[in-house]
Amino acid sequence: MSNSVLIVGVYLLDKPSYIRQIKSDLSRSSRSEVEQRWVGLGTGSIPEEIADVTVRKVIPPAMKFPLLNQLLAEAKLDDFEFVLVCDDDIVLPENFLDRYLDSVTRYGFVLAQPARTHDSFSPHMIVDGFSGHPFVEQLDGLVARQTRFVEIGPIFSVHRSAFELIFPFDETSPMGWGYDFVWPQLIANAGLKMGIIDAVPIAHSLRKSGFYYQHDKARAEMKEFLAHRPHLSPDEVFFIIESYAA
Amino acid sequence: MSPPSLSAILCTFNRAELLSQTLESILGQTLDRSNFELIVIDDGSMDDTRKVVESFERRLPLRYAYQANAGLASARNHGIYRSQAPLLLFLDDDDLCSPNLFEEHLKTHVQYPDNHFAVLGYIGFDPNLAQKPLLHYVTEVGCYLFSYSNVKHGDVLDYPYFWGGCCSCKRKFLIDYGVFNPVFRFGCEDIELAYRLSKNNLKVVYNARAASTMAATTNRGTRPRRRSCCSS
């Protein structure tokens, strides 16, 4: 079965990234029709290899999720089965997209992410709401697991059945802090499933999660965001509901 | 329905015969069954493990989860994330639990409610094992394995006494500060985690009444579990 996949993301022009390789890897799906739409953020030049998928260049300061909202608003979401939101600092395993979407489809996860490799950054910062909790590290014996937690990055997918729940991103938290505690509530209320795919882990080790952010500001932003929305607490999210092995 | 107080996490690999004995011993727990759950993580067994577990499913508050063989640390992490209780007790698949094992662990956690307190129970040996000169040497003389000679009931100990197969701890402490490193497929996964947790003030309370016995295997000898504070 062929999927139609929209990939949206923001890449940094003035910092090292893997955007060329990511674009190339995601283009090589044999089973999905892929459209990529990226924003280049920074003052540098847009790399030639990425020009065809770069919708625009934005000079900082600009926040990630409002930029993603623009990309989504400009696309015809009805045409797509999945939206994949992707950062520019990850390394994808061989044949990632086909293998990942196979599992996401098989287990019916409308919101999902690949696990992280063991050598990815894992700064144990989730109590502050940042990404990188050991919970998302690959569990070696599993193909996938149904969870109550999917991170806001570096890569996650949304199935069309959850587009209205997840999009547009709530811009009162423009860097996404707190989304991952609201999403499980939304998904559960809708009677849908979310999860992590362990069989195709991605490496996230180029830039440390949260390294470029002001943590106090992010924490305050998340607290304010969560104060006005139904959400789960950190004590409620780190559970495997069902696990799947080969 | 509220979660149980204690999740016992039992990881196993190709030891169906011993596992049956371990599960039998859990049947006799004095802790009410509504107050605990048993999570069996089958780490890719190719023997009758699944059948054995299934034969206990109606008699125990049991959940079974299979994974491809990935080693003890990964299996325990799988168990941690499947667990629902605030207290986690790690069991090995050759442990014969005394009837009050779960209750004693729970009691000590009630006494020491702060998240950084773990509980160490006592493990003795099946008489067929205990009489072996080598085991006597490693436990009593060299103190390489299950060395209890330097501790007494009620002691509050440091991280080297966080022995994987006979310790319990708060789930939240692991979620907040770290789980097992999957690089350790077998052995040292407990002490490596404990070392990391010691940065967050992990303390281990010894409860000698939380006892279990390591069963003798019929054909493969004792699994080489490392349980010593001296060799860390």
B188-227 pLDDT, tens digit per residue, is 899 999 999 999 999 999 999 999 999 887 554 444 444 4
The CATH class, in words, for B6-214 is alpha beta
Band (pLDDT 50/70/90 cuts) for residue A22 is: very high
Out of A134, A145, A246, name the one closest to residue B68 (CB): A246
Q: Which of residues 132-171 of A touch B (CB under 8 A)?
A: 134-135, 137-142, 145
What was the pLDDT predicted at A208?
A: 66
CATH number of A3-244: 3.90.550.10
- Whether B231 has a pLDDT exceeding 80, the answer reads no
Interface test with A, best of B13, B41, B46, B67 (most A CBs within 10 A): B67
> What is the model's pLDDT at position B229?
44
Sign of the C-alpha dihedral, residues B91, B96, B98, B99? positive
High-pLDDT (> 90) share of chain A, %: 84
Find tokens 């607490």 and name the residue.
Answer: A233
Instruction: Tell me the average pLDDT across B146-158.
Output: 92
Token pair for A90: 């990850």
For residues A83 and A121, the model is more confident at A83
Alpha helices in B90-209 (DSSP H): 101-111, 127-130, 133-136, 171-177, 189-198
The pLDDT assigned to B61 comes to 98
- Sign of the alpha-carbon torsion through B156, B127, B16, A246: positive
* Interchain proximity A239–B43, CB inside 8 Å: no
What average pLDDT does chain A have? 92
Taking an 8 Å cut-off on Cβ atoms, the answer to whether B175 and A145 are in contact is no
C-alpha separations of B127 from A7, A140, B28, B122 in Å: 63, 37, 21, 16
B70 touches chain A (CB under 8 A): yes
Q: Is the peptide bond prior to B113 cis by the omega test (within 30 degrees of 0)?
A: no
Q: Is the ipTM of this complex over 0.90?
A: yes
Beta strands in chain B (DSSP E): 6-12, 36-42, 62-66, 87-91, 95-97, 117-125, 156-157, 167-170, 203-214
Among B43, B46, B78, most A C-beta atoms within 10 A, so best to mutate, is B78
Domain boundary assignment for chain A: 3-244
Q: Distance (Å) from the C-alpha of residue A111 to the closest C-alpha of chain B? A: 19
Nearest residue, CB atoms, B176 vs list A127, A141, A142:
A127
How close B167 gets to chain A, by Cα (Å)? 21
Model pLDDT for residues B27-49, shown as the tens digit of each residue = 999 999 999 999 999 999 999 99
Which of A128, A140, A232 is most worth mutating to test chain B (most B CB atoms within 10 A of its CB)?
A140
Q: Is the pLDDT of residue A127 over 60?
A: no
CA distance linking residue A157 with residue A74, whole number of Å? 18
Contact state of A243 with B177 under an 8 Å Cβ cutoff:
no
Average pLDDT, chain B: 91
Question: Average pLDDT, stretch B2-21?
Answer: 96
Lowest mean pLDDT among A207-216, B1-10, B81-90: A207-216
B70 and A140 within 8 Å at the Cβ level: the answer is: yes
Distance from CA of A67 to the nearest CA of B (A): 32
Is A124 near chain B, with CB under 8 Å?
yes
Please tell me the predicted confidence (pLDDT) of residue A128: 43
Percentage of the residues of chain B whose pLDDT score is greater than 90: 76
- Residue B98 pLDDT level (bands cut at 50, 70, 90): very high
Residues B159 and B167 sit within 8 Å (Cβ to Cβ): no
Q: What is the pLDDT of residue A63?
A: 96
As a whole number, mean pLDDT of residues B66-81 equals: 97
Q: Quick check: B179 contacting A, CB < 8 Å?
A: yes
Say yes or no for a CB contact (<8 Å) between B74 and A141.
yes
Chain-chain contact of A243 with B67 (C-beta, under 8 angstroms): yes
pLDDT of residue A211: 53
Interface residue B77 vs chain A (CB under 8 A) = yes
Q: Is B84 on the interface with A (CB under 8 A)?
A: yes
Give residue-wise pLDDT tens across range A51-61.
999 999 999 99
Rounded average pLDDT over A56-69: 97
B30–chain A Cβ distance below 8 A for any pair: no
Q: What is the pLDDT of residue A179?
A: 97
DSSP string covering A196-233: EEEEEEEB--SS-TTTTS-HHHHHHHHHHHHHTS----
Residues of B in contact with A244 (CB under 8 A): none
**pLDDT interval class at A207 (50, 70, 90):** confident
